[in-house]
């Protein structure tokens, strides 16, 4: 790999940030412009949402089970084992549900968007689309942004529910907690701000996943090797950006409380 001068590396990084910001701004502007290509958005929603269901359900279930297993020894030491549902629900709804679901969707779909658009780029299909008078941003990027934001919102809710159920399985069969006791404490632990925090994050994360995947796909160069490189970069960048934005959103939402 060719070594870059530090100045050139900084310039490339700043250029990438600028190009990504412009792509994101255009994607947002296209949400309110005609045509919306709803058929493409519905197709992408099926690919992103329904296709991600198995991995989201498994991730949420196992996360809830692990939370119950990890919290139970500490709670038992202080005689508060009945609060297992409380801790599982708070952890899943406020933080782990949105973040882990977004990371799973990013690994599956950001890479898919980058590879699909990257293949279209290197085979000059995007250039042909422009020659025919179709805006690739509106046709290819905006439907993916709409579908990802919409489906990630509901995938996060599903992940929270199956996570709570996973915690219930451990609480009932291993910790011998009463069913009513677990679900009652899990319900009473949540307040309006906790639910809002858990439902606002997927909107931002979905936008990041779609725009990052489309950005690296649209900027692909270098044939099939470039497609593979863009796919890897999209997953890494989306995952890191999700975690970074999660810190900012968490602090902001805590300040609002």
**How does pLDDT run across 33-56, given as a tens digit for each residue?**
787 788 889 999 998 988 899 999
Cα 38 from Cα 76, distance rounded (Å): 53
Over 70: is that where the pLDDT of 86 sits? yes
Express each pLDDT in 175-185 by its tens digit. 888 888 889 88
Does the pLDDT at position 5 exceed 80? Answer: no
Q: Over 70: is that where the pLDDT of 2 sits? A: no
Token representation of residue 149: 């934001």
Kindly state the percentage of the chain with pLDDT values over 90.
Answer: 46
- How high is the pLDDT of residue 164? 94
Q: Name the residue among 189, 186, 198 with its Cα closest to residue 64.
A: 186
Closest CA to 150 of 38, 33, 60, 20: 38
Per-residue pLDDT, 175: 86
**Summary mean pLDDT of the chain:** 89
Positive or negative: CA dihedral 241, 243, 248, 252: positive
The model's pTM: 0.90
Tokens encoding 138: 């509106």
């Amino acid at each position: 790999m060719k070594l870059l001068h530090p100045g050139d590396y900084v310039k490339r990084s700043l250029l990438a940030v600028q190009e990504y910001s412009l792509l994101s701004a255009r994607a947002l502007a296209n949400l309110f412009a005609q045509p919306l290509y709803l058929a493409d958005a519905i197709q992408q929603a099926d690919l992103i949402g329904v296709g991600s269901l198995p991995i989201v359900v498994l991730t949420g279930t196992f996360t809830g089970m692990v939370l119950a297993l990890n919290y139970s020894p500490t709670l038992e030491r202080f005689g508060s084992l009945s609060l297992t549902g409380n801790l599982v629900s708070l952890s899943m709804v406020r933080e782990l549900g949105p973040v882990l679901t977004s990371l799973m969707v990013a690994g599956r779909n950001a890479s898919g968007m980058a590879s699909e658009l990257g293949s279209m780029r290197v085979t000059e299909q995007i250039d042909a689309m422009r020659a025919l008078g179709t805006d690739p941003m509106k046709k290819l990027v905006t439907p993916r942004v709409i579908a990802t934001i919409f489906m990630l919102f509901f995938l996060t809710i599903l992940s929270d529910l199956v996570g709570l159920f996973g915690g219930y399985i451990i609480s009932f069969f291993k910790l011998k907690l009463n069913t009513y006791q677990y679900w009652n404490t899990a319900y009473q632990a949540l307040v309006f701000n906790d639910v809002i925090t858990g439902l606002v994050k997927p909107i931002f994360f979905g936008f990041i996943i779609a725009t990052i995947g489309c950005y690296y796909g649209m900027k692909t160069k270098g044939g099939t090797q470039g497609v593979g490189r863009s796919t890897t970069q999209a997953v890494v960048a989306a995952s890191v950006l999700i975690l970074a934005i999660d810190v900012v959103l968490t602090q902001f939402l805590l300040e609002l409380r």
